[in-house]
């Protein structure tokens, strides 16, 4: 059974599908089952950092990708950064392109208490960080 907000990727064509309404059955693309993208939270094996980090900037929160800036090149970039409420009812997502700065600014009045930062790298997959209180 799928779960809300899970991401699945086709290893043949590269399509990525997000679960909006969980259900039974298998997701298939290009006549083969799609692979669920697992959330990673440790990046010791990578030179560049991928774990999304939340910081306070004035009264607002900012999500940045890694402790050093992530590459934003044609062949290696962050597809999106998002903040997901703990009940998965609210999502603030920013889609990025090569050349963009990998950050998402959040106004405190539009962020619910307890949210999870996530980001998707086109090469290294899905990464999750921790909220700050």
State both tokens at 47: 């030179």
Domain 7-37, CATH: 2.20.28.100
The CATH homologous superfamily of the domain defined by 52-128? SOR catalytic domain (2.60.40.730)
pLDDT in tens, 93-132: 999 999 999 999 988 765 556 789 999 999 999 999 987 6
Q: What is the pTM of this model?
A: 0.89
Q: Structural domain boundaries of the chain?
A: 7-37, 52-128
Residues 6+ apart with CB under 8 A from 34: 8, 9, 10, 11, 15, 17, 27, 28
- Mean pLDDT over 16-24 rounds to 95
Which one, of 59, 47, 53, 30, lies nearest residue 124 by Cα?
Answer: 47
């Amino acid at each position: 059974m799928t779960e809300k907000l899970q991401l699945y990727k086709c290893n043949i064509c590269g399509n990525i599908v997000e679960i909006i309404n969980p259900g039974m059955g298998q997701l298939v693309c290009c006549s083969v089952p799609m692979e669920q993208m697992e959330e990673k939270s440790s990046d010791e094996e990578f030179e560049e950092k991928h774990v999304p980090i939340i910081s306070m900037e004035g009264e607002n929160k900012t999500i940045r990708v890694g402790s050093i800036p992530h590459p934003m090149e044609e062949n290696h970039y962050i597809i999106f950064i998002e903040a997901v409420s703990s009940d998965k009812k609210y999502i603030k997502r920013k889609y990025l392109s090569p050349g963009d700065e990998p950050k998402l600014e959040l106004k405190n009045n539009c962020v619910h208490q307890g949210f999870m930062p996530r980001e998707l790298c086109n090469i290294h997959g899905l990464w999750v960080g921790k909220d700050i209180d």
